[in-house]
Chains A and B, each alone.
Chain A
Amino acid sequence: MITRRSFAATGLAALALPALPRPVRAADWQAVLDAAKGQTVWWHAWGGDPKINDFIAWVGAEAQVRHGVTLEHVKLASTADAVARVLAERDAGQTTGGAVDLIWINGENFAAMKEKGLLFGPFAERLPNWPLVDVAGKPAVVTDFTLPTGGFESPWAMARLVFEYDSARLPAPPATIAALADWARANPGRFTYPQPPDYLGLTFLKQVLYAVMADPAVMQAPAGDDYAAQVAPLWDYLDALHPVLWREGRAFPQNEPALGQLLADAEVDIAFAFNPGRASAEIAAGNLADSVRSFVPEGGTIGNASFLAIPFNAAHQAGAQVIANLILDPAVQARAQDPAILGFQTVLDLAALAPEDRARFDTLELGVATLSPEALGPALLEPHASWVTRIGEDWQARYGVAP
C-alpha cells in the first residue's frame, strides 16, 4: 500500500517551495537528538505486509543503536485508524501526550489531517538529510494529492503503478489500455481490478482516463461543468469491460494484496501494483511463480510518494523527527530499494550522494521481474483530487449495486 496520488501539478509543487529549505542549524538538531534519546516512538503503519514489518523492525534496531530511540510499530489494518485516533484525542481535549507519534501516511489521510490541523510541523525541510531529497527530479516528494506538503510530512519512498503478468500463461501482454480491453474480451474472466474506493482500483480508473480522454491535461485543474462529457469515455470503456471481467464483474478483489493473491492463484493473468519491485520481491519470497514479469502500457503510468507525518499532540515529537531523518539516510534508503528487502524506489537524488553512498544503490540488483527506470517510462501526474472524488462516487452509483 504504497501511498496513492500525486505527482500533481508540477507548477503547484514549485510554488509550494517558496524559500529554499533553510538548512537546519547543527545546534537545533542536536537539541532534537538530545530530547529524543531514551524516547519510545509509536509508529502507526499499515501492518499487512511482513516484508514491510521486517523493514520497520530493522529501522527500529538502527534507531536504537544510532540514536538511543526505541521504535514500536503499531500494526494497522488501515491508516485511517491512526487518523481517527488523533481526531478522537483532539475531540477529547488531549493536546499533548498523544498516543500516535508517527504515521505512515498517504494522500487522503494527509489531506484530512492537514485540513483539520492535526499535524505537527513544518518539520520535513529542516531535517539534516533533507538536502539529499530529489525535490527537482521527483516533485511528488513535496506534493501529495495535488496538495503542497508544506513540510508537514517527510517523504520516504517512491511508487509507480506497474502491471504484472505470468509469462508462462501470457507470452505477450497488451501494450496499451485499449489493447488490454481487447485482450480481456478475447480472454473472459482473466482480468479484474480492486473495487473502488480502494486506492489501487481508483488508480486503475485514472490510468484508463489518461488513455481514453480527449485531453487528459484538463485533469490538472479541478473538475468543472464539462466533467460528465469529459469522463464519458471512461464509462464506455468500463461498460464494455465489466461483462468480461473476473466473475463477470459481479465481485471484485478488495485491495492490492487480494489482487496479487488472484495472480498467484492463477485466477487472473494480469494484475497490477503500486510498487515496481513488488513482483520481484514476491518471487524472492516464494509467493509468486518465477515466470511473473511486469510491464507498463505505452505512455507511462501514474506515480507518487509515501510520507511520514507527526500528529500535533504526539508525545515524542523529537524521537519521531529522528526516525523521519534516519529513514532518509542513504544506507536505509538503499536497503528499502533492495528487491530482496522491499523494492521501494528511493526519494533521494543519487547525484547528491557521496560516492560510497551512491555505490550502495549502484550495486543493487533490479530483480528478475522489475523494469529498469528507462523501461518504466514517464510518470503520469495525479489528477486534481476533485476528479478522483467524483469518479469514485459515480463508480458507486453505476456499479456499486450488482444488477
Chain B
Amino acid sequence: MKGAGAALILPRLTLALLVLPVAAGLAGTLLPAVSGFQALIGWPGLPRAAALSVISGAASTLIALGLTGLIVAMLHDRPGFALLRRLLSPLLAVPHAAAALGLAFLIAPSGWIVRALSPWATGWQVPPDLLLINDPGGIALTLGLVAKEVPFLLLMALAALPACDAPRRLAVTAALGYGRLAGFALAVWPALYARLRLPVMAVLAYGMTTVEMAAILGPTLPPTLSVQVAEWMMAPTLDRMETGAAGAALQLALVLAVMGLWHLAGRLGAVALRRGAEAGRRVRMADGPARALAALAGYGLPAVLGLALAGLALWSVAGRWDYPAALPEALTLKHWARAAPALGSTLATTLAIAATATATALVLVIGCLEAERRAGLAPGRAAEAALYLPLMVPQIAFLPGLQMAALALGLDGHWPAVAAAHLIFVLPYAFLSLAPAFRGWDARHGLAAATLGAGPARIFWRIRLPMLLAPVATAAALGLAVSVGQYLPTLLIGAGRVGTLTTEAVALASGGNRRLIGAWGLAQLVVPAAGFALALALPRLVFRHRRAMLAGGAA
C-alpha cells in the first residue's frame, strides 16, 4: 500500500488474473467449436435441452431472488431472525452435489418422507411409481436450485443491507401509511437490488450451467444443455469434443442473452415500481400473506435442506435400510472407518489449496478496493463485467483449454497449480462479498484520522481494515467454501494427482453409494462450515470489549 500509482498495479493484476485464464481457456476450448455446430444442430434434443437450461436457470433465480427480497423485507428486523441469519452460513457451505443428493433422497418416492408415512398412512407396500425427480419439465431441478441459492442471496443481501439505510427509510414509509412490503419495495429494494446485481448474475449463470445438480435432480430425456455438453466433452470415443465445444459456445451465448433480457426486465420492473410509487397505494393488505410466505420460505427452506443433510448423515452410519423402514435397522461406523484414511490425507490438501487461494484472493481484492478509494477511481463497467467473467462462462467451456495451456507451460499436477486455478473462482466471490462493505464504509472515519495526521497506510491498517474485519472474515469463509467445492478445475489442473474432498466425493457419487456419499458429503461440509463459524466468532473475540464494532457488519 504505497502511493496511488503503485496501488493501481493491484487492480490491473487482479483483472489480468480474471480475464487471461478465461480468455486463454475459451480460445483453446472453443476453437474446435466451429466444426461442431452441424452435429450440435443435428441433435434432436437440442431445443428442449436449451429451453430447459434457460427456464430452470431463469426461473430458479427469479424465485430465489423474490424469496430473498420477501424474507429481508418482512423478517430482517424481527426477533428470531438472528437464528436464521446464523443458519445461513452453514447452509451456504453445503456442496451443491451433496445438497442435491440429500434432496433427492428426501423427496423420491422411496425417499425419507414417503418412508416415514408408509405403509401405515399411505398403504404403499412398495414405493409409488411417481415421477418426482428427473421430471422432464425440470421442476425438481428448479426447486433444488432455489433451495441452494436462497441462502447465498440472503447472505449477500444482509451484507449489503446496512448500506441501504433501511431502518430510517422504512420508518418514513411506515409513517406515511405504507404497508411493510410496499414500503420496502419502494424505498429499500432499489438500493438493495443495485448492490445485489452481481451476485444475482452469478446465481443466474450457475443455474443455467450447473452440471452436478442437473445430473442428479434434472431431466434426462434430454438432459439440460450443460449436462449434455459435459457428456460430449467426456465421451470415451473423444470424437464429440467439437460438438461439446459448440454446445459450450451456445451455452455461453444463452447465458449472455438471458442476462441481457434480465437487465431489460429489471428496467421495466423499475418503471413499474416508479408507477406504483406515483399511484401512492399503501397496499397494507399484502403484509399478512407476505409475512406468512416469508416465514414459510425463510424457515422452511433451511428446514428442508437440514432434513436433506440429516438424511445423508443417517445414511453415513446406516446398516441395512430397506424401504419402507423410516430408520436404518442398525447403526454402524464402518463407512466412516472405511473413508477415514483417505479423508485424512485429502483434508490436508484441500485445506492447503483453499487457504492459499483464499488468502491470495483477499490480498488482491482488499488491495483493489483500497486502491479504488485512494485513487478516487470509480469502477468501470468493463471491469465489473470482467469480475464475474469466471462465474458467467460455463466452466466446461474454458477449463479444458486452460488445462492445455497449463500443460504446455508445465504448470500442472501439483497443489499450488490447483490453488492458482481455484483463485480464478474465489476472486469474484471474495470481491462480490467484500465490495459492498468496503464501498459502504463511511469515509468520514478516514477524514477524521487524516486531520489528526494519519497517512493513508495508517488509516488503512488501523481504522478501515479493523472496522471491516467482520466482512473480511465472511469473505474468507466464502472463499474457502468456493475453493472446497471446486471439482472440474481440481481434476483438470491437478492432473488427477491432487485429490481433494470434492474430487473424492464426486468419484464416489458416480457409484451411487449413499452411505459413503453421506460420509464424504458431510466431510465436505465440515471444512467450510468451520470457516463460517470462525468468521462469526473472530470479530466477537477481537472486539469483545468494543461492542459497537460488531453492529451491522458481522454476517
B515 and chain A: residue at smallest CB distance: A287
Q: Is A116 an interface residue (CB 8 A)?
A: yes
Provide the residues of chain B in CB contact with A261, threshold 8 Å: 512, 514
B220→A85 contact, CB < 8 A: no
Contact between chains at B322 and A188 (CB < 8 Å): no
A49 within 8 A of B: yes
CB pair A400 B221 closer than 8 Å = yes
Q: Quick one: given A83-B238, A400-B45, are A78 and B110 in contact (CB under 8 Å)? A: no
Known contacts A169-B126, A195-B220, A264-B322; A77/B510 CB under 8 A: yes
**Cβ of A126 under 8 Å from chain B:** no
Which of A48, A248, A265, A289 gathers most chain B CB within 10 Å? A265
Shortest Cβ distance from A39 into chain B, in angstroms? 14
Asked if B221 and A44 sit within 8 Å, CB to CB, the answer is no
Any B CB within 8 A of the CB of A267: yes
Chain B residue nearest to A92 (CB atoms) is: B407
Q: A77, B509: Cβ atoms under 8 Å?
A: yes
How large, as a class, is the contact surface on chain A?
35 or more
- Mask: chain A, 80-98; 1 = CB below 8 Å from B; 0 = not: 1111110111011110000
B83 CB to nearest chain A CB (Å):
35
Residue contact A89 to B44, C-beta cutoff 8 Å: no
Residues from 40 to 91 in A contacting B, C-beta threshold 8 Å: 42, 44, 46-50, 54, 72, 74-85, 87-89, 91
Contacts of A390 in B (CB 8 A): none
Contact indicator per residue, chain A 246-289, by CB within 8 Å of chain B (1) or not (0): 11101110110110110011110000000000000000001101
Q: Which of B126, B496, B507 contacts A100 (CB 8 A)?
A: B496
| Pairwise interchain contact A80-B235, C-beta atoms closer than 8 A | yes
CB neighbours (8 Å) of B495 from chain A are 85, 99
Chain B min CB distance to A275 (Å): 13
B382 to chain A, nearest CB (A): 32
Asked whether A112 and B236 contact (CB < 8 A) given A99-B413, A257-B512, the answer is yes
Smallest CB-CB separation from A42: which chain B residue? B497
B234 touching A80, Cβ below 8 Å: yes
Asked if B510 and A255 make an inter-chain contact with CB atoms under 8 angstroms apart, the answer reads yes
Residues of B within 8 A of A286 (CB): 319-320, 332
A397 part of interface (Cβ distance < 8 Å): yes
Residue B518 interfacial (CB < 8 Å) = no
Q: Is the CB of B219 within 8 A of A251?
A: yes
Known: A100-B496, A116-B238, A286-B319. A88 touches B510 (CB 8 A): no
Q: Does B259 contact A (CB under 8 A)?
A: no
- Residue-wise, chain B 207-220 has the 8 Å CB interface mask toward A (1 for contact) of 00000000100011
| B323 contacts chain A at the CB level, 8 A cutoff | yes
**Which residues of A have CB within 8 Å of B319?**
286
Q: Report how far A251 CA is from B131 CA in the complex, Å.
A: 8
Q: Is the CB of A252 within 8 A of B238?
A: no
Tell me whether A251 and B134 are in contact (CB under 8 A).
Answer: yes
Question: Is there contact, CB below 8 Å, between A50 and B516?
Answer: yes
Cα-based distance from A149 to B412 in the complex (angstroms):
32
Interface membership of B87, Cβ < 8 A: no
- In the complex where A77-B507, A91-B404, A92-B404 touch, is A50 in contact with B236 (Cβ < 8 A)? no
Residues of A within 8 A of B400 (CB): 84, 88
- Docked Cα-Cα span, A261 to B323, in Å, equals 11
Residue of B nearest to A261 (CB): B512
Total cross-chain contacts (CB, 8 A):
169
Asked if A75 contacts B503 (CB within 8 A), the reply is yes
Cα distance A239–B131 in the bound complex, in angstroms = 20
Cα(A103)–Cα(B431), bound, Å? 41
Contact A82 to B507, CB < 8 A, known contacts A92-B408, A260-B512, A261-B514: no
Q: Is the CB of A79 within 8 A of B504?
A: no
Cross-chain contact B512 with A48 (CB below 8 angstroms): yes
Most chain A CB within a 10 A radius of its CB, from B45, B220, B496: B496
Residues of B contacting A78 with CB < 8 Å?
A: 234, 236, 510
Instruction: State how many angstroms separate the Cβ of A74 from the closest Cβ of chain B.
Output: 4
Question: Cβ of B403 < 8 Å from any Cβ of A?
Answer: yes
For residue A103, give the distance in angstroms from its CB to the closest CB of chain B.
11
Bound-state Cα–Cα, A190 to B129, Å: 8
B235 contacts A75, C-beta separation under 8 Å:
no
Cross-interface CB contact of B110 among A77, A81, A258, A266, cutoff 8 Å: A266
Given the complex of chains A and B, what is the CA–CA distance between A397 and B109 in angstroms? 29
A248 partner residues in chain B, CB cutoff 8 A: 129, 131
Residues of B at the A interface (CB closer than 8 Å) are 44-45, 48, 108-110, 126-127, 129, 131, 133-136, 215, 219-222, 233-239, 319-320, 322-324, 332, 338, 400, 403-404, 407-408, 412-413, 491, 495-497, 499, 503-504, 506-516
Top 9 A-B pairs ranked by shortest CB distance?
A48-B511, A189-B129, A257-B512, A47-B507, A265-B110, A99-B495, A92-B407, A75-B507, A402-B221
Which A residues have a C-beta under 8 Å from some C-beta of B?
42, 44, 46-50, 54, 72, 74-85, 87-89, 91-94, 99-100, 108-109, 111-112, 116, 169, 188-190, 195, 246-248, 250-252, 254-255, 257-258, 260-261, 264-267, 286-287, 289, 396-397, 399-402
Other 12 A-B pairs with CB < 8 A, given A80-B234, A99-B495, A401-B222: A81-B496, A89-B407, A109-B236, A112-B237, A248-B131, A251-B133, A254-B215, A261-B512, A261-B514, A266-B323, A401-B45, A401-B48
